[in-house]
């Protein structure tokens, strides 16, 4: 029997570089926290980005009925094509017609994926190589980093400006572009900010992309999730020239995150995406698409969900946002930033008024320990001194949580010294809360 | 406005190397074929590896009821942990207890994935780096190549020996191992062969793995799918020392390939997989697991599906195998190899008796053109001169297809010259069909 002479002769199974570099920053940060609630107070988790957690927000019956019908029909147990059933792709094309410059989207432009995460995975993997970079928002959702860094793709963060309703610092964005920039990721509406970009701001972003010939990956999973009085524009609807991959899905708007139904809409422009299209097709063969039952139900889900369902959901969230905003803005040391959509609100901590706490991680830990209220610290989204509050929890819980946050802040607030106060007035931070 | 000086100033969006190297060999081969059926004969596709295509094989009602119950309960619409719900993982651990050497599998060893493809994707991605190699069976299922080559992982094919019931050529396997071998992939039962390895053969494979310290990725998606008279042994149940990742799922045995529920069972040995475990966990964050409804139903699916369902399915397939085998073995120029499990049968073409056809691709194209019967050519599985027949089609279709294949072969068969016939007897190929 041959003995290997070249192998190191013991069990020594190494993790790959890809797996090692693939990591979830939120997990790492949260696992590093000490989260021990006050045993006398019931825990309120304002941290969980899953709208279904508390049972107050349920998917429409039309959706559930569509699923049960598909199960009874027994026609959707088999493999779908790796990019999805044609009928489901057609339904997405129709549902997404507003994204087309001239309503030109058809089934061939749609690729179904296992959630929006998988859609983003395919887009990033298809468009960027090791050593290239993608531009991502700061603060922003951590999945882009999770997906890109495994491949050795560099993530460069462009700043969002809280004082301008979290618009992109366009100069900063432009400075980051170089010959290795493979794509700009734009999250609109935003997690964690809840911001919704104006038409003009999107046009400004597109102008930069066009001038530098950088394609856009638009994370539009919160599409249409905007409070009355604001208008949502998809990136692709505002450009004839910039090639855009729009990622979306049923996760948020239909309140079914676990169902893992996402999509990519390929907005090709003048054939710029012909290689990328092939790349996405190639990559879809890796896992063979989302669950076939959900695909089978998708046309009914997208067509039959009543407008009332969408409207009520948005209304509920706006209502929660208003309540939280009005309560938190009265609390010394906190500056909540009113969202225009999505399901989140960012709250700035004036850390100098909380000298006991080293940073917002410290603040968050003490808030749990004393008040059993847990919010994600800004660092989970790559920004300091903020906490993110989730607006999908039941109204009473939001109110209760805000009351406890108030008590906590009052206990720990130290008024600024006079000269600091003048500083504060100079930066005029109050104004930013009124946009 | 800044003009980029470094970027190539036009739209020029390139596909990544990863996406370019990720490809589906079957697609490439089939797309290269001319598949034009005879308009006078109804097409019979013996090519489709989806057991649900023809409606003759349906999932058990218990499974469908479990799904509908979960939908009605409304408790499984939210995100699962990225490795799966604990209850679902526990159910898999229990269902897979036979895989443990001493029934030691628990939920922590189970990771749920979007189909077995995704399970294999995670395993390969976690264990091998660019420049390393994995050993894969020839003939074998093409997904391993699809998954590995994107990463620049080399696929080295070890031969299976048709004359020995498709056992692995162990000498060849061992020769391929070098210092860069990250894993051996073993498919048992096999697609495309339908072979089921004996206990002794599995022990022999394990002995090689152990001697060279190479971990095993066991593709056991056809687990338990063995005809009466044969016994199935999982790789992990036969080794105390070789670390094994067993990939499986509900796809085949439960007749729900579209549902995309797969799993990895981590058979760690003496901690050899502690890094790989972390790697799999990291990678699971990329797409956040399989559909939550299927996860919710999984405990009921695995527990409540009656034994009768499994037995009838296997009986049907054995029946189809017997029919096809007995018909095809009478056809001059064909040598079917009787499977012991799974859903396929390989048929050797004695190409010298079909001098009209350049290779089996040619044979397959003409068979479609004349008889409207389509089988996948061996090249889809990395082997020449074979065709693969799928046994899940309805019985009448198998019979009809075999009759048409007979007519086709009779029309094209040219008897061997005498000296060739002697050659043939010398290689004694007839015997191989009788194991
Ligand atoms: C901005 C953003 N993009 C993508 C996702 C992932 O969506 P999915 O659950 O469909 O993978 C999320 C989920 O929270 C998100 O907030
Ligand atoms: C040997 C083998 N492994 C894995 C798979 C993929 O299984 P799934 O559909 O669960 O991804 C198949 C599918 O045909 C197969 O034959």
pLDDT digits (tens, 9 = 90+) for A165-182: 999 999 999 999 999 999
Question: Which neighbouring-strand residues pair with A187?
Answer: A219
Ligand 1 center from residue A115 Cα (angstroms): 8
Both tokens of A403, joined, read 């009351």
Neighbouring residues of A15: CB distance < 8 A, sequence distance ≥ 6: B126, B127, B275, B276, B278, B279
8 Å CB contact of A18 and B58? no
Return d(Cα A252, Cα A255) in angstroms, integer: 5
Is the pLDDT score of B431 beyond 50?
Answer: no
pLDDT band at A416 (very low <50, low <70, confident <90, very high): confident
Give the three-state DSSP class for A72: helix
8 Å CB contact of B126 and A15? yes
> Which residues in chain A have their CB less than 8 angstroms from residue B286's CB?
22, 117-118, 121, 146-147, 150
8 Å CB contact of A147 and B64? no
Which is the closest atom of ligand 1 to the Cα of A120?
4
Mean of pLDDT values over A120-149: 98
Which chain B residue's Cα is nearest to A73? B64
Q: What is the pLDDT of residue A434?
A: 36
What spatial distance separates the first Cα and last Cα of chain A, rounded to whole Å? 77
Ligand 2 center from residue B231 Cα (angstroms): 21
8 Å CB contact of A16 and B213? no
B141 lines ligand 2 (CB under 6 A): yes
- Residue in A77, A241, A283 closest to B256 by CB: A77
Return d(Cα A315, Cα A310) in angstroms, integer: 9
B188 lines ligand 2 (CB under 6 A): no
8 Å CB contact of A4 and B177? yes
Nearest residue CA, atom 16 of ligand 2? B191
Is the pLDDT score of B163 beyond 80?
Answer: yes
Share of chain A above pLDDT 90, in %: 91
Mean of pLDDT values over B258-274: 96
Q: Are A350 and A335 in contact (CB under 8 A)?
A: yes
Dump pLDDT digits (tens) for B320-372: 999 999 999 999 999 999 999 999 999 999 999 999 999 999 999 999 999 99
Both tokens of B191, joined, read 């697609």
8 Å CB contact of B77 and A278? no
Ligand 1 center from residue A328 Cα (angstroms): 26
8 Å CB contact of B178 and A7? yes
Which chain A residue's Cα is nearest to B210? A11
> Which residues in chain B have their CB less than 8 angstroms from residue A184's CB?
none
B390 lines ligand 2 (CB under 6 A): no
Mean pLDDT value across chain A: 94
If we measure between CA atoms, which residue out of B216, B223, B221, B237 comes closest to residue B99?
B237
Indicate which of A286, A289, A390 best probes the interface with B, i.e. most B CBs within 10 Å of its own CB.
A286
Is the pLDDT score of A289 beyond 90?
Answer: yes
Is the pLDDT score of A60 beyond 60?
Answer: yes
Is the pTM here over 0.90, yes or no? yes
Is the pLDDT score of B430 beyond 50?
Answer: no
Ligand 2 center from residue A248 Cα (angstroms): 27
Mean of pLDDT values over A329-353: 97
pLDDT band at A423 (very low <50, low <70, confident <90, very high): low
- Residue in B11, B213, B290 closest to A272 by CB: B11
Is this prediction's ipTM beyond 0.85? Answer: yes
Dump pLDDT digits (tens) for B206-257: 999 999 999 999 999 999 999 999 999 999 999 999 999 999 999 999 999 9
Ligand whose nearest atom lies closest to the CA of A188: 1
Q: Are A201 and A171 in contact (CB under 8 A)?
A: no
Both tokens of A71, joined, read 């199960």
| A205: alpha, beta or left? (left if phi > 0; alpha if psi -120 to 50) | alpha
């Amino acid at each position: 029997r041959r003995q290997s002479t070249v192998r190191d002769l013991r069990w020594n199974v190494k993790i790959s570089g890809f797996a090692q570099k693939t990591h979830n920053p939120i997990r790492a940060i949260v696992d590093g926290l000490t989260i021990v609630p006050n045993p006398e107070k019931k825990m309120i988790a304002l941290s969980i980005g899953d709208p279904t957690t508390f049972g107050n927000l349920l998917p429409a019956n039309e959706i559930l009925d569509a699923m049960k019908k598909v199960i009874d029909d027994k026609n959707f147990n088999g493999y779908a094509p790796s990019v999805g059933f044609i009928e489901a792709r057609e339904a997405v094309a129709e549902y997404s017609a507003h994204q087309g410059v001239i309503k030109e989207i058809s089934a061939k432009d749609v690729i179904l994926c296992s959630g929006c995460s998988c859609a983003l995975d395919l887009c990033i993997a298809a468009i960027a190589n090791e050593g290239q970079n993608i531009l991502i928002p700061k603060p922003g959702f951590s999945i882009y980093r999770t997906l890109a860094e495994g491949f050795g793709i560099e993530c460069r963060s462009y700043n969002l400006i809280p004082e301008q309703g979290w618009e992109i610092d366009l100069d900063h964005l432009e400075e980051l572009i170089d010959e290795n920039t493979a794509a700009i990721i734009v999250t609109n509406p935003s997690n964690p900010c809840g911001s919704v970009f104006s038409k003009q701001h999107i046009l400004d972003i597109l102008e930069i992309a066009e001038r530098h010939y950088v394609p856009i990956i638009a994370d539009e999973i919160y599409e249409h999730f905007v409070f009355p009085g604001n208008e949502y524009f998809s990136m692709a609807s505002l450009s004839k020239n910039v090639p855009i991959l729009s990622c979306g899905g049923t996760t948020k708007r239909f309140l079914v995150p676990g169902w893992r139904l996402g999509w990519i809409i390929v907005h090709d422009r003048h054939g710029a995406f012909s290689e990328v299209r092939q790349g996405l097709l190639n990559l879809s063969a890796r896992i063979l698409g989302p669950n076939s039952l959900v695909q089978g139900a998708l046309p009914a889900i997208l067509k039959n969900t009543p407008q009332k369902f969408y409207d009520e959901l948005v209304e509920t969230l706006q209502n929660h946002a208003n309540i939280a905003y009005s309560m938190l803005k009265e609390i010394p040391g906190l500056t909540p930033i009113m969202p225009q959509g999505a399901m989140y609100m960012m709250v700035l901590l004036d850390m100098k008024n909380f000298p006991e706490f080293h940073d917002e991680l410290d603040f968050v830990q003490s808030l749990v320990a004393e008040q059993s209220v847990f919010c994600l610290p800004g660092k989970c989204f790559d920004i300091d001194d903020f906490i993110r509050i989730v607006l999908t929890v039941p109204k009473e819980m939001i109110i209760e949580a805000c009351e406890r946050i108030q008590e906590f802040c009052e206990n720990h607030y130290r008024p600024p010294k006079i000269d600091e106060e003048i500083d504060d007035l100079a930066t005029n931070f109050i104004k930013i809360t009124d946009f």
